Amino acid sequence: MKLTITLLFILTTVVSYLWIYQGFESPWYLLSEEQHLYIYSTQAQVIAAIYGLTVTGYIFLRNNQDKQKENDSTKIDAINLTQNNERVLLFALTFFSLSTILLAVFTLVSFDDKVNMVRVVSKNLCAAFFIITIFLFCYFILYVLRLDKIEKASEEIKKSIDEHEENKNYASQSSSDMNGNNSKLNDSNTIEEKNENKNHDDTTDSLALFLYRFNELESFLNRLLNKLYSNQAQSIGIDSVPAQYYSSSRKGKRYRSISIALNELVKFGRIESRLNNDLREIIKYRNALVHGQDLIPSKIMIQKIDRIAKEVESLLIN
C-alpha cells in the first residue's frame, strides 16, 4: 500500500506539471466566461456527490467486515490488515477530493485575476486533480469490492511472519557463531536442524503436519488451563471451572479456543511474555495459512511450532 500511495503522488506531480506546461505553451481549449463558470462549478459538485456516495457505500461494507470478524475470529488479522489498507486509500481519496473542490473554488474566484500565471495554473491544476481523483475513485471502488481480499491479506501476513522468523534465525545464528564457548551446542543444533529439514522435505504433508502440531498445541494449552483451574478449585474446596470460557460445542469436554485459553493463562501469569508472543505469532500464522492461497507452511514455522509445543508440554509436567 505504501508503494501505491507513493506512485499516486508521483503520478499527480507528473500529470499536474505536464498539464500546467501544456496550458502555458499550447492550450487545447480557450474557455468563455460561461463555460469557465459552468465547468469548474460542476467539477466541485460532481466530486462532492461521488465522494458522499462512496463513503456511504463503504460504511455498509465496513459493517459487513466487522460482522465477519465476529462470526469467524480466524479472519480478524486478515480483515484488520485489509481495513488498514482501505483506510489509507480513503484518506488519500479525501485529500484529493477536498483539494479538487478547493481548487475549483479558487479557479472561480481567480477568473478575473490580472496575473495570467494565477489563472492558468489554477485552471489546469484543477483539471489535473479532477481527472486523477476520478481515477482514484474507480481504483478505490474496485479495491474494496475484490473477492480475494482475505486471501491476499493472509498471504501478506504469512510472508511477513516468514521473513521475520528468517531474519531472527539469521541474527541468532550469527551471534552464536561468534561465541566460541557455544560451538559444540551450535554444532548439535545445526545437525538437529538438518535432520528436521530432511523430515520436512515432503511439502505435501507439511500442511497436515503443521495443523496437527497446532491442534496438539491447542490441546496442551487447554490441559494446562484445566490443571490451573483444578488446582485453584481444590485450594478453596470447589470442583468447578468457569463455563463461560468453554466453546459452545464442547462444554462437556472443557474445551476452549486456543486464543481464549492463552489469554487466561497469560492473565494468571502461567505463560511468560516471550512464550506468549511466540504463541500469538503461531496463531496468527495458522489463521493466515488456512485463509491464504499458499497452503504450504515454511520449514522455519514447522520447526518453531514443534519447539513451542514441546515447551508448552513441559509446563504440564512442572
User: What's residue 121's pLDDT?
Assistant: 83
% of the chain with per-residue pLDDT over 90:
25
- The answer on pLDDT for 9 being more than 80 is yes
295, with CB counted inside 10 A (0-12, 13-18, 19+), is middle
Instruction: Give the mean model confidence (pLDDT) for residues 95-123.
Output: 83
- The answer on pLDDT for 113 being more than 80 is no
* Phi, psi for residue 296 in degrees, rounded to 5: -100, 110
User: What's residue 172's pLDDT?
Assistant: 67
Instruction: Give the mean model confidence (pLDDT) for residues 85-104.
Output: 93
- Residue 169 to residues 166, 172, 176, 242, 247: CA-CA distances in angstroms? 5, 5, 10, 40, 36
Q: Give CA–CA dist 223/90, Å, rounded.
A: 45
- The answer on pLDDT for 1 being more than 50 is yes
In the chain, what are the domain boundaries? 2-146, 155-179+196-317
C-alpha cell at position 103 = 481548487
Q: Give CA–CA dist 84/3, Å, rounded.
A: 15
Instruction: Give the mean model confidence (pLDDT) for residues 288-310.
Output: 88
- The answer on pLDDT for 291 being more than 60 is yes
Instruction: Report residue 281's pLDDT band, with 50, 70 and 90 as the boundaries.
Output: very high
Residue entry with cell 455498509: 60
- What digits encode the pLDDT tens for the residues 211-260? 889 998 988 888 888 888 777 766 666 555 454 444 444 444 456 788 88
- What digits encode the pLDDT tens for the residues 125-152? 888 899 999 999 999 999 999 888 889 9
User: What's residue 92's pLDDT?
Assistant: 93
- What digits encode the pLDDT tens for the residues 21-76? 777 777 676 667 777 787 888 999 999 999 999 999 999 999 999 998 888 888 88
Tell whether pTM > 0.85: no
